[in-house]
Chain A
């Protein structure tokens, strides 16, 4: 009996060795641990055995059963591991297949550029001040030191409305007057973003509608040197810390002296390329010391206060940053263009 059990044990272990799946494992179990298996049969014949034999056989049968059950569990674990191993080996994705496209919302490129400008100037204490798009001739010209028939009015081709003295603003400068009249005699640091209009043919280089950001600082101790410092800081923040700037004398009726700020071309690092038209410089903004008449119209005494103002085009900056050569893209709103920002 004992030998038979040992023999069964050996045989069962050998049979277990080659099993590869759960099904054969169950079959094996029926065969070696089922009711009719020699081990279980051994229990049922115990009572027929002699007193001496009975505990020996019972003990051995228990040992064999436990050993087989343990072996079966081990085998089961091994099969699982093997299956996992196989799965890891065979389940291979083509990682080059495209991901599921997500519908992403974006801000218009001009909004994105405006936000960059807001952020940079906010750090220098300039707050956003907005004003209306349809303006009076006085706010757009007269209060900015351009009385009727002033030659400088030629610099702005203006859309006139059917109402006498009401025009589409040609720049956000009217906001300078609004801000000054609201805040005087407090010092001012504001930037004035918004939509402007010019009577101009729409071409790759000019638009009849465009956004502008102007800036204004008014105080008791503000100089042309401060203008240079502030605007160079802006350029360093917007482009890169090492960028060089230069200031060229220019003319705007509302500033005296006036200056254009160029930054070193960031495409060619000033070496000369088609983007900077081989000058090494890119025109970025116009600026100047606020004209005394503008301060007066704003409610400030020019004997006591000075200030500087500047203006730039977010579209132009966006165009330079991304080397876009046609300004019409901005209001055309072709999604294939907008989705690239």
Chain B
């Protein structure tokens, strides 16, 4: 919302306020001033401002009101003229090519003279001949043999608008020689309007806030209009079919209008707020909307009469019939639904209420009688229709956020008077006002106790009343209670007693000043503190894996089935479980919620492959498995791990060429599980589509699968732009892992008796898994066998075909005594005996 200071000053004195102070206080009160465009007034000094700055300050010495006394032909150029101009101190001859001066050429001394902005030698203005706004400083030069050092300015040269067709004219009474900045210097505040203060999307609304914040008097707009025509009664009728959709409809009539350009002041104001002037009637409807917030619509009355067969027209509003079609002003045929309100007459529908007018009944250059509409529409219907038709305008913006029905009448009143002044028309007496659904009158009761309870500040009832009164609440105070009647321009105060209080709290806090409310610390009791084991567990996993040298990543939850299919070999069908699907995706390749964490991670490996040899990643995040129809999906947290490339970073001391392999991944997983103090872990050969069938294992805890680890299937590997290293991957069901992790774990004290170390090598058949041998050793060794460590796997001819040797380093230790050779020999015999029996192991000769 653009707010020129000069316009704001109509309703509240702001000229003596510093612009920075004004912007600062408005911003703190919720009217965020995002930008200020300076049009002539000096820009504030310094590096720091609450808002963005733009614009041009007009130098008081060199840019003044000039008086053009005579326009003379240029001796050498037809398209240029020479002006005799008085700058208040002396006369100059100024050269210009402005076409709007040609009509005065050679007419001798002008009576009356013309007033225009005059820039002297050395003045800095915008270059009118360059695209955009580029600063230039006027210098003495010769054009076609005539000396030139100054300029009569266009609007563009002063930064008022982008108009550069001719010079700008000032009113006749502009004082010659006065610095232009003093005469008409301005600044336009650009204010962000949040939905709750849509009532302030107009100059008067901002003025009301300003008056309240600065405790200054607010001047009301003048809603009186001079009506000298015959009464409007009988000239037009209104028929409202759905009062819920159209609570109020007000019409006024003005005859004998002359459609022409708006007066200079009106055009100037519209340009300041970025609106292009069209003609006096259209400009007034726009002006009133920006001035007080009520959108208006002007009909060509005679056209309505002719549509009614020469009879007084009837304006009919009704809900659209589903499927009904209408050609709107932009030439498009629109198919409508029943939530849309239509404005019609007896000849049919012509416009979509609150959004777009009709072509046939529009005001044209030939119009002589204008029927002016100020209507009120249900904002929900407007919103639904906007969403459906995707049409937006300044009017629909306001209607879609709710305008109070009282504004409809005020808008028509103000519009009629301005049309009368700008078109020389005659206004019919009275208005036709259909108001079938009266706005609810809301009164909120509030006490100093409420203010203390909500805001933590002490305020008496009369202080509350005074403060709300500044925002036009009518307040009555009885003892300790304020009855605040909500003014008839706002729809945002709830009639529920407590909600209404909350709404008023915001008003009180804003006007009182957020800055003035003291910072306090909560005195309320501290809530019961609870255990958060699930979060703690996740954070522990993060710590464990980052400690092992893995980088955490966080990836997009949104993906596509195609992206996820890449992780599977082509001959494997993706599972048939439906995806959680987004119906309005923003990117074509991200429209479902992921079902796989590996897929997201492999994409990250791929995108980093160009820049990194060693990649070691983990991610914790949900996958989304859709449930039955209508139910929320199952969000399952997953842990993913990926390793690829050289195990170590390259170094000048000689790099290890060794690549990450399955056992590195298993080592990482092992350390993690050990860090979580999870016991009874086993790894079993497993088949999983994304992994190499011979290099994949299920990780089980107490027989329950918690995850899968493996080397990526070569075919899958080739589907990504990876480096030529094996890629190892693992995923875990975090919830299952969490359930397996003990809340506490036992710590064994270190025995003070010496340990006995012994190595044994066992020859077994190739097909016997090492894991089986190790667990047999552990089981048989019992408590006194404190450590079993595999240190070598050997295959060789002397062992025989299909055999391997597993070498273990065993540590025996008792808690209560020093073990004898006898003890150790007995345990070894037991272990070897069992291995012989169960897996056919032979003790290898040392």
Contact = CB atoms under 8 A, between A and B. Distances in A.
A173 to B, nearest CB: 17
A247 interface: yes
Contacts of B510: 249, 257
A101 B651 contact: yes
Nearest to B624: A134
A306 B456 CA distance: 11
Interface in B197-221: 197-198
A107 B546 contact: yes
B29 A249 contact: yes
B549 A105 contact: yes
Nearest to B543: A107
Contacts of A188: 527
B453 A306 contact: yes
Contacts of B535: 128, 130
Interface string A162-173: 111110100000
A128 B198 CA distance: 36
A166 B47 CA distance: 48
Given A159-B585, A289-B454, A338-B551, A272 B514 contact: no
Interface stretch (B69-77, B627-635, B814-822): B627-635
B550 interface: yes
A292 B629 CA distance: 33
Contacts of B496: 292
Contacts of A186: 527-528
B789 interface: no
Interface in A277-320: 277-281, 289, 291-293, 302-303, 306
A281 B50 contact: yes
A223 B451 CA distance: 9
B383 interface: yes
B217 to A, nearest CB: 23
A332 interface: yes
B380 interface: yes
Category for how many chain B residues contact A? 35 or more
A67 to B, nearest CB: 48
A265 B550 CA distance: 34
A149 B607 contact: no
Nearest to A220: B524
Contacts of A127: 529-530, 532
A74 interface: no
A278 B48 contact: yes
Contacts of B583: 160-162
A232 B652 CA distance: 50
B29 to A, nearest CB: 5
Contact of A105 (B47, B196, B548): B548
Interface stretch (B289-297, B342-350, B609-617): B609-617
A132 B590 CA distance: 20
Given A98-B652, A224-B454, A249-B509, A333 B557 contact: no
Contacts of B52: 277-278
Contacts of B608: 333-335
B455 A225 contact: yes
A160 B550 contact: no
A98 B653 CA distance: 9
Interface stretch (B11-19, B298-306, B499-507): B499-507
A246 interface: yes
A179 to B, nearest CB: 10
Given A230-B522, A292-B499, 19 more contacts: A102-B649, A133-B624, A149-B380, A159-B586, A161-B581, A186-B527, A195-B621, A197-B557, A225-B456, A249-B30, A251-B195, A256-B505, A278-B49, A279-B50, A280-B50, A302-B498, A333-B555, A335-B612, A336-B612
17 contacts: A105-B546, A111-B542, A133-B635, A151-B383, A163-B631, A186-B527, A195-B557, A217-B524, A220-B524, A225-B518, A230-B522, A249-B510, A251-B30, A251-B195, A292-B501, A333-B554, A335-B608
